[in-house]
Amino acid sequence: MNLLSGPPAVVAAGVDVFSDALRVQGADVHDVDWRPPAFGDPADLAALALDPRRAAANRVAVERVLAAGSVLVDVRPAREVLGLQERTLLHSGPPLTWEAASGPMRGALVGACLFEGWADDVEEAEILLSTGAIALDPCHHHAAVGPMAGVTSPSMWMWCVEDPGTGRRAYCNLNEGLGKVLRMGAFNPEVQTRLRWMRDVLGPVLSQAVRGSIDAGDDPLDVKAVLAQMLQMGDEGHNRNRAGSLMALRELSPAIVALQESSGWSSADLAAVLRFIGGNEHFFLNLGMPTAKLAMDAARDVPGSTMVTVMSRNGTEFGIRTAGTGDRWFTGPAQTPVGLYLGNFGPDDANPDIGDSAIMETYGIGGFAMAAAPAIVRFVGGTVPDALATTERMYQLTLAENPAMAIPIMGFRGSPTGIDVLKVARTGWLPQINTGMAGRIAGTGQVGAGLVQPPRECFEQALAALAEEIRAA
Amino acid sequence: MSLPPAPGGHPLVSVQLRSGVYADSVRLMQVSRRIAALDGVTDVLVAMATPLNLELAAGMGLAPDGGASPEQLLIAVRADDAETLAAAVAAVDAALAERERSTGAATAIPQRTVGAGLAELSPEVPALAIVSVPGSYAAVEAADAIAAGRSVLVFSDGVPVEQEVALKRAASAAGVLVMGPDCGTAIVSGVALGFANVVRPGPVGLVAASGTGAQQISCLLDMAGVGVSHVLGVGGRDLSEAVGGLATLDALAALDADPSTERVLLVSKPPSPSVEVTVRAAADDLSVPVRSAALSPETPDLTAAVEALLRDMGLDVPVWPSRPGPAEAAVPGAALKGLFSGGTLADEAMLLASPALGGIRSNIPLRPELGLGTDLSASGHVVVDFGDDALTRGRAHPMIDPTLRLEAIAKLAASGEPAVLLLDVVLGHGADPDPAGSLAPAITAARETAGNLPVVVSLVGTEGDPQGWSRQADALAAAGAAVFASNAAATRYALDLLGAPA
């Protein structure tokens, strides 16, 4: 026991009279800014804190998350890699019905029906969707993620990333760019034209480029390494993906250009692909997200672990999952982000929080690595010190620091990784998420970007369920 | 392009394209928002002239004439009148020219949990945690310390016993110590935690299930010139059947391994018999000699335990300091009224006095049938522990806040019942900075009211304490009290005054 090895420094939580008495003695005293937990039955909190499995379980969960790698191994249509039945659409967030779906989610679902040719017009699509002729399922139920509405249909091409250590894979569709896009709930002819071009040109070109270079013996693109570099270049990997998108363009370009000779693509098509990638500063987001998904999926089903493995929103509800409770969703009403609006859009135009992209924060970057991307904090009129403070706070919510995701301004400290349900309750701080904002009305598209937090209810339910699991164990 | 007619007037529009000006989209959105908030401005778009933004501008009826390139900055404003419009455009320029003011320093983020607080310390620094949050949350904070490989003192009471057991098992496995719950006293390598006295360093280690008991013993040792290495509190329930002495066993082992500890004294109320056997067996296996100072009807005297220890060490037993107070005649037939702040001191007084006086009513009675009602009053011999949990709910401990006891003294004096008043006063860190300051006037007033009320005080403390033993003793003696450093001596003196010597 090191207790008796010398005059101890003291960390004190509670009444100050003891700290005062210690200071009088000249002792080294550190007061904790303790306050009653923001939620949770005291007996549940104690059950979690005293669960003898917890420390080891969380260590296992953290180790798996940190060990997961991500390399780009393929680009394939969703129907092939996700085993998507015809007439099934995937969406972001926890499970959802058409009735409960928000405007942008409905817009994206309608748009996908039109894109797949299942309906000829909006009305027909709405009938299919409202009568259950189209099955809806969360992306997360298929090792997949999708930004904003996350609507993924069988003909869409998917990035396929793989953890080299385990061979596990995760998937995400291709990013359409900004403005009027399907993921923001727009479905007009311009959106349809772009989706068809992505299906007929972008997807096949990327697929052939990725597979071609791997077949030629090149190392697959190390997506996790690009994420790590982005944090050194002013991106946080969620709302700011500029450096990452340019790096992806740099890495993919030679193989894309080579297709003119090997596969007969016209230089016009290939130029259009390169222009599209270069013109979309969020192009990399759809590679970063499955990378984070791959890592968080590694921590699924670790009994006794209080780590959050999924945070996700479907535009109506926010849902989380934890390592200790497997595939159960804990949901609450999605909040409306606070931020800046495009043009003359305003808060009344914004839909509540939507998208699987909060997987980035679940993985410890995005809003958690705010300090790496000071530009993002200005979305809410904040300052650079605010960015640092946000990341500092997130360290108190998390179980680990990810050495692979170093934040330069924090002295290259690893990003705060692995949200602990117990710590969320005890600190009263909720995870900070950076996000885009979709228009409330179907078809509007993007109206802004900003910051949002999960509803407390998700964590409240997760805490109660984890405590119940302890009693059952 | 036709503009929708504005009600009540003709809005004016300014659409400009600037070259050679770049600002990122976040900054431009902020500028747009600021200008839009100006009175009389109806629409604003300040943005780089990308195709997406040109489309937005067109949607707002603010598209520039002719070609625009993405490198150009679009400044488009619609306002109610020309003056507002000109001011708004000027405000855009001003906003773009402005530099962001920031202190550059991160706001310090306070640590909200014991775990976060401990994480700030280097692992090489010896450290422990003190938890005094409400009892229902104490185990959560204490568990942080154990997880961080640190010992913890839990001052909080009201911690469920099964949580205490779980904490102590985890601590044992982690090689750290849980002092408490409901532990108010410890001294670790000279650092006094909670209620503890300023005593010299020395070779005696205390393991204490009783806070004021440990204070009495460490103070008497100090007065005998013997110092302590450490005082490790274990909490009042540690020696119960349910907890099984988990912390006592760990504390004994820690002191055994500590090079500065040569002898150990175990201070407690009577342990449960089976736990006593376990602890005794463990103590016998240690290389350091362990003496028990467990209070019981057979061994009712903490001072005697200290004296025995001194003899073990081959040292002389000193005359324990006292102030005799005024010469008072005995008051045979009067009642003993003991008003205590320390539970162990109250216990000791009852154990010493009962053989001479018979049953003593108390809120912490030696036998259940001697219990007091909630008003704490009864005629005859009464000992009240004002530090009992039931009396400290919602108020500070009587060692900090004397109000209840001062009221009880005044009430006793006014009752007219012939009595000898026995009080304890505990000095040291954490305690009232000048207990005599309020107690001495109360004693004077009570003695005046009652006419004949002998007052005996056991004053637990040292000269080194912030309050100073002699200063407090002199002030209390001047008010007419007889003052003793030994609680046992004070009790015996009170019995003498009752004409019922122990």
pLDDT digits (tens, 9 = 90+) for B168-185: 999 999 999 999 999 989
A383 chain-B contacts, CB cut-off 8 A? 100, 102-103
Identify which of A80, A270, A245 has the alpha carbon closest to the alpha carbon of residue A157: A80
**A408 plus A313 within the same structural domain:** yes
Instruction: Examine the pLDDT at B1 and tell me if it is beyond 60.
Output: no
The per-residue pLDDT for range B203-235, each reduced to its tens digit, is: 999 999 989 999 999 999 999 999 999 999 999
**A353 plus A241 within the same structural domain:** no
For B453-464, what is the mean pLDDT?
Answer: 97
- Interface with B, mutate which of A32, A281, A306 (most B CBs under 10 A): A32
For residue B197, the SS3 value is coil
Residue ending a domain, among A247, A264, A288, is A288
Residue A161: partners with Cβ closer than 8 Å, 6 or more residues away: A70, A71, A72, A73, A169, A170, A171, A223, A287, A290, A291, A294
Question: Are residues A13 and B133, on separate chains, in Cβ contact within 8 Å?
Answer: yes
Question: Are residues A45 and B137, on separate chains, in Cβ contact within 8 Å?
Answer: yes
At residue B28, the pLDDT reads: 84
Question: Are residues A10 and B193, on separate chains, in Cβ contact within 8 Å?
Answer: yes
Instruction: Examine the pLDDT at B6 and tell me if it is beyond 60.
Output: no
Average per-residue pLDDT for chain A: 95
Residues spanned by the domain of A145: 66-288
**A322 plus A229 within the same structural domain:** no
What's the CA gap between B440 and A65, in Å, rounded? Answer: 66
**Whether B131 contacts B106, CB under 8 Å:** no
What's the CA gap between B131 and B126, in Å, rounded? Answer: 17
Task: State how far Cα B265 lies from the chain centre.
Answer: 25
In which element (H, E) is residue B496 found?
A: helix B487-497
Amino acid at A276: F
Give counts: helices (H), strands (E), chain B. 16, 19
At residue A1, the pLDDT reads: 53
At residue A472, the pLDDT reads: 92
Q: Where are the domains of chain B?
A: 12-97, 128-312, 322-497
Confidence of residue A302 (pLDDT cuts 50, 70, 90): very high
For residue B191, the SS3 value is strand
**A243 plus A342 within the same structural domain:** no
Identify which of A237, A107, A118 has the alpha carbon closest to the alpha carbon of residue A181: A107
- Tell which phi-psi region holds residue A234, choosing left (phi > 0), alpha (psi between -120 and 50) or beta: left
Identify which of A437, A436, A300 has the alpha carbon closest to the alpha carbon of residue A360: A436
In the block, tokens 């929103």 appear at A313
Q: What percent of chain B has pLDDT over 70?
A: 96
**Whether A415 contacts A159, CB under 8 Å:** no
Identify which of A31, A37, A36 has the alpha carbon closest to the alpha carbon of residue A15: A31
**Whether A128 contacts A112, CB under 8 Å:** no
**A353 plus A230 within the same structural domain:** no
Domain CATH code at residue A441:
3.90.1700.10
**A188 plus A222 within the same structural domain:** yes
In the block, tokens 């050194």 appear at A232
Question: Are residues B140 and A4, on separate chains, in Cβ contact within 8 Å?
Answer: no
Amino acid at B103: T
The per-residue pLDDT for range A410-433, each reduced to its tens digit, is: 889 999 999 999 999 999 999 999
Asked if the domains B12-97 and B128-312 are classified in one and the same CATH topology, the answer is no
Question: Are residues B30 and A49, on separate chains, in Cβ contact within 8 Å?
Answer: no
Whether residue A40 lies inside any domain: the answer is no
**A349 plus A408 within the same structural domain:** yes
CATH 3.40.50.261 fits domain B128-312? yes
Nearest-CB residue to B139 (from A18, A27, A50): A50
B288 secondary structure, DSSP code = S
How far, CA to CA in Å, does B478 sit from each of B339, B463, B470, B474?
20, 18, 12, 6
B116 chain-A contacts, CB cut-off 8 A? 32, 395-396, 427
Identify which of A245, A236, A242, A444 has the alpha carbon closest to the alpha carbon of residue A341: A444
Residue ending a domain, among A263, A288, A313, is A288
For B146-164, what is the mean pLDDT?
Answer: 95
At residue B316, the pLDDT reads: 95
Question: Are residues B189 and A8, on separate chains, in Cβ contact within 8 Å?
Answer: yes
**A83 plus A163 within the same structural domain:** yes
**Whether B182 contacts B237, CB under 8 Å:** yes
A156 secondary structure, DSSP code = S
Confidence of residue A238 (pLDDT cuts 50, 70, 90): very high
Question: Are residues B45 and A344, on separate chains, in Cβ contact within 8 Å?
Answer: yes
**A311 plus A376 within the same structural domain:** yes
**Whether A370 contacts A391, CB under 8 Å:** yes
For B312-331, what is the mean pLDDT?
Answer: 90
Instruction: Examine the pLDDT at B2 and tell me if it is beyond 50.
Output: no
In the block, tokens 């006095």 appear at B353
For residue B161, the SS3 value is helix
Which residue(s) pair with A362 in the sheet?
A: none
At residue B162, the pLDDT reads: 97
Whether residue A29 lies inside any domain: the answer is no
Domain CATH code at residue A225:
3.90.1710.10
What's the CA gap between A31 and B110, in Å, rounded? Answer: 9
At residue B65, the pLDDT reads: 85
The per-residue pLDDT for range B93-142, each reduced to its tens digit, is: 888 877 655 444 456 789 999 999 999 998 889 999 999 999 999 999 99
Which ipTM value was assigned to this complex? 0.90
At residue B107, the pLDDT reads: 60
The per-residue pLDDT for range A332-371, each reduced to its tens digit, is: 999 999 888 888 899 999 999 999 999 999 999 999 999 9
A6 chain-B contacts, CB cut-off 8 A? 126, 189
Pick the residue from chain B with its C-alpha nearest to A36: B137
Residue B190 Cα, gap to closest chain A Cα (Å): 7
Whether residue A124 lies inside any domain: the answer is yes
Residue B500 Cα, gap to closest chain A Cα (Å): 41
- Residue with the larger pLDDT of the pair B270 and B478: B478
Residue A222: partners with Cβ closer than 8 Å, 6 or more residues away: A69, A70, A71
B113 chain-A contacts, CB cut-off 8 A? 13, 32, 34, 396, 423, 426-427
Spell out where B185-304 has E strands. 185-188, 191-194, 201-208, 228-233, 263-268, 290-294
At residue A30, the pLDDT reads: 95
What's the CA gap between B209 and A3, in Å, rounded? Answer: 18
Residue ending a domain, among A288, A320, A352, is A288
Whether residue A243 lies inside any domain: the answer is yes
What's the CA gap between A434 and B63, in Å, rounded? Answer: 31
Whether residue A21 lies inside any domain: the answer is no
**Whether A316 contacts A98, CB under 8 Å:** no
Number of domains observed in the structure of chain A: 2
Q: Which ranges of B148-245 does DSSP label H, i.e. alpha helix?
A: 161-174, 211-223
CATH number of B12-97: 3.30.70.60
**Whether A327 contacts A297, CB under 8 Å:** no
**Whether B182 contacts B207, CB under 8 Å:** no
Whether residue A199 lies inside any domain: the answer is yes
Question: Are residues B113 and A5, on separate chains, in Cβ contact within 8 Å?
Answer: no
In the block, tokens 């296996």 appear at B285
Q: For B104-151, what is the HEC assignment?
A: CCCCCCCCCCHHHHHHCCCCCCCEEEEEECCHHHHHHHHHHHHHCCCE
In terms of DSSP bridges, do strands B73-79 and B41-48 run parallel, antiparallel, or are they unpaired?
Answer: antiparallel
Q: What percent of chain B has pLDDT over 90?
A: 71
Q: In this structure, is the dihedral angle defined by the CA atoms of residues A45, A50, A55 and A58, taken in order, positive or negative?
A: negative
In terms of DSSP bridges, do strands A221-222 and A169-173 run parallel, antiparallel, or are they unpaired?
Answer: unpaired
Structure tokens at A435: 């996000």
**A304 plus A280 within the same structural domain:** no
What's the longest Cα–Cα distance across chain B?
Answer: 115
For A175-181, what is the mean pLDDT?
Answer: 92
**A267 plus A378 within the same structural domain:** no
- Interface with A, mutate which of B3, B22, B52 (most A CBs under 10 A): B52
Whether residue A385 lies inside any domain: the answer is yes
What's the CA gap between A63 and A417, in Å, rounded? Answer: 11
What's the CA gap between A55 and A38, in Å, rounded? Answer: 22
**Whether B323 contacts B476, CB under 8 Å:** yes
- Residue with the larger pLDDT of the pair B159 and B10: B159
CB pairs under 8 A between A and B: 227
Which residue(s) pair with A310 in the sheet?
A: A321
Residue B83: partners with Cβ closer than 8 Å, 6 or more residues away: none
For A86-92, what is the mean pLDDT?
Answer: 95
Confidence of residue B196 (pLDDT cuts 50, 70, 90): very high
**A375 plus A444 within the same structural domain:** yes
For A178-193, what is the mean pLDDT?
Answer: 94
Structure tokens at B396: 């500070």
Question: Are residues A383 and B255, on separate chains, in Cβ contact within 8 Å?
Answer: no
Whether residue A120 lies inside any domain: the answer is yes
Q: Which CATH number fits domain B322-497: 1.20.1250.20, 3.90.1150.10, 3.50.50.60, 3.40.50.261?
A: 3.40.50.261
Least confident of B68-72, B287-291, B475-479: B68-72
Q: What percent of chain A has pLDDT over 90?
A: 86
In terms of DSSP bridges, do strands B290-294 and B263-268 run parallel, antiparallel, or are they unpaired?
Answer: parallel
